[in-house]
Amino acid sequence: MEGTTPRTIKELYRVTEAQSARFQYTISASMLELYRNDLVDLLSKGNPKAGKKLNIKTDKQGRIQVENVIEEECRNVDELTAVLERGNEQRSVAATQMNSESSRSHLVFMVKVLGVNKDTGEQSRGKILMCDLAGSERLKKSGATDEMQKEAIEINKSLTVLGDVIEALTSNQKIIPYRNHKLTQLMQDSLGGTAKTLMFVNCSPASSNLDETLMSLKYATRAKKITNTTKKGT
């Protein structure tokens, strides 16, 4: 069964191909791992442009950009799928007492779409941000030790900051703490910007994980209260 991201890729090309008579589209992708609050370019392996420090910037239009990240142009479904698979192979995972392949990082898959009207030359820009967040961990229950313990602490810290941002947005606070963590900086466009945002929460059906499931559902309930106003990108 296909997951959300492969289905999104297919739908993206279906839509752009259906409008190809009027618009010329350029689609590019990048893939990042946020590991212990450090950004890692998952497409950099073997790439001569790799090695530069990744920085999160805001451009003149207020859009979030990652400086020095490798972006690859993808002409069709197969090329974009190959980028996704190549990035996934580089992701940091490890076994814990709760998960045989526990993600030790947050994964961010960014797809940019540039559309040019063939008659007028007018440009429109869009971005799809797919975030696979590492799950929060109770150290005693997961059995994480040493380096994995440090990873778990950082994961929990980032999710706490994300919760703080969600709380600030839903309570209409004037100051939103996006800059408290790189995760929330990356997600700023989606959380409090002009995007349409979907959140999928995975819950364990096991009674032994009742507390974790309840926390996840409460987290989702808070996020559901965020209101964004979508608009066309230029």
- pLDDT tens per residue, range 178-196: 999 999 999 998 887 778 8
pLDDT in tens, 127-154: 999 999 887 665 555 555 567 778 888 8
Of the candidates 183, 91, 104, the one whose C-alpha atom is nearest the C-alpha of residue 150 is: 104
Each residue's pLDDT expressed in tens, for the chain with a length of 234 residues: 789 999 999 999 999 999 999 999 999 999 999 988 889 999 987 665 566 789 999 988 888 999 999 999 999 999 999 999 999 888 876 444 444 344 678 999 999 999 999 999 999 999 999 999 887 665 555 555 567 778 888 888 998 999 999 989 888 899 999 999 999 999 998 887 778 888 898 888 889 888 888 988 988 888 888 877 666 666
Residue 39 and residue 30: Cα distance in Å, rounded? 12
Domains and CATH numbers, the chain: 4-224 (3.40.850.10)
How many secondary structure helices (H) and strands (E) does the chain include? 7, 9
Whole-model pTM: value is 0.85
Of the candidates 139, 142, 197, the one whose C-alpha atom is nearest the C-alpha of residue 165 is: 197
| Structure-token pair, residue 119 | 């008659």
The number of C-alpha atoms within 13 Å of 223 and in the hemisphere containing its C-beta is: 20
- Dihedral of CA atoms 171, 176, 180, 186 in degrees, nearest 10, equals 110
